[in-house]
Chain A
Amino acid sequence: MLKFILRRTLIMIPQLFLLSLIVFVLAKAMPGDAITGAFAGDPNATEERKEELREKFGLNDPWYEQYGRWIGNAVQGDFGSSYMYKQPVTTLLAGKVGNTVLLALFTLIITYIIAIPLGIVAGRWTDTWADKLIVTYNYFSFATPLFVFSLLMLFLFSFILGWFPIGGSVDIKIEEGTWDYIVSKMEHLFLPVMSGALLATFGTIQYLRNDIIDTKLKDFVKTARAKGVPERKVYTKHILRNSLLPIAAFLGYEIAGLIGGSIFIESIFSYPGLGQLFLTSIGARDFTVVTALVMILGTATIIGTMLSDIILSIVDPRIRVE
Chain B
Amino acid sequence: MGNPVLEIEELRTSFSIKGDYHAAVDGVSLTVHENEVVAIVGESGCGKSALALSIIGLHDLKTTKLEGQVNFKGQNLLSLPISKLNKVRGRDTGMIFQDPMTALNPLATIGRQIEEPMDYHLKLSSAAKKKRTLDLLRRVGIKNEQRVYGQYPHELSGGMRQRAVIAIALACDPVLLIADEPTTALDVTIQAQIIDLMKELQNQIKSGIILITHDLGVVAEMADRVAVMYAGELVEIAEVRELFVNPLHPYTRSLLNSIPSNMEAKAKLHVIEGIVPSIQNLDRIGCRFAPRVAWVPEEDHETNPQMHEVKPNHFVRCTCYKNFHFPEGRVGEKDYVTS
A residues sitting closer than 8 Å to B (CB atoms) are 218-220, 222-231, 237-238, 241-242, 245, 316-318
Nearest neighbor of A233 in chain B, beta-carbon distance:
B120
Among A227, A242, A317, A318, chain B packs the most CB atoms within 10 A around the CB of A227
Flag if A220 contacts B86 (CB, 8 Å).
no
Flag if B107 contacts A223 (CB, 8 Å).
no
Stretch at the interface among B88-96, B230-238, B276-284: B88-96
Query: Interface residues of B: mostly helix, strand, loop or mixed?
Result: mixed
Which single member of B83, B98, B116, B165 contacts A229 (CB below 8 Å)? B116
Flag if A317 contacts B97 (CB, 8 Å).
no
B residues sitting closer than 8 Å to A (CB atoms) are 53, 56, 58, 82-83, 86-91, 93-95, 97-99, 102-108, 113, 116-117, 120-121, 152, 154, 165, 168-169, 171
Flag if A228 contacts B120 (CB, 8 Å).
yes
Which single member of A218, A228, A245, A317 contacts B90 (CB below 8 Å)? A228
Flag if A229 contacts B154 (CB, 8 Å).
no
Determine how close the nearest CB of chain B comes to the CB of A233; give it in whole angstroms.
Answer: 8
Would you give 25 A-B contacts (Cβ < 8 Å), ordered by A?
A: A219-B99, A219-B102, A220-B102, A220-B105, A220-B106, A222-B97, A222-B103, A223-B105, A224-B105, A225-B58, A225-B89, A226-B93, A226-B94, A227-B90, A227-B117, A227-B120, A227-B171, A228-B90, A228-B91, A229-B90, A230-B86, A317-B106, A317-B107, A317-B154, A318-B152
Flag if A228 contacts B89 (CB, 8 Å).
yes
Residues of the B chain whose Cβ atoms lie less than 8 Å from the Cβ of A318: 106, 152, 154
Flag if B97 contacts A219 (CB, 8 Å).
yes
Flag if A223 contacts B86 (CB, 8 Å).
no
Flag if A242 contacts B105 (CB, 8 Å).
yes
Flag if B107 contacts A245 (CB, 8 Å).
yes
Residues of the B chain whose Cβ atoms lie less than 8 Å from the Cβ of A219: 97-99, 102-103
Which single member of B95, B103, B104, B107 contacts A316 (CB below 8 Å)? B107
CA distance A231 to B108 in the complex (A): 18
Among A220, A241, A316, chain B packs the most CB atoms within 10 A around the CB of A220
Determine how close the nearest CB of chain B comes to the CB of A320; give it in whole angstroms.
Answer: 8
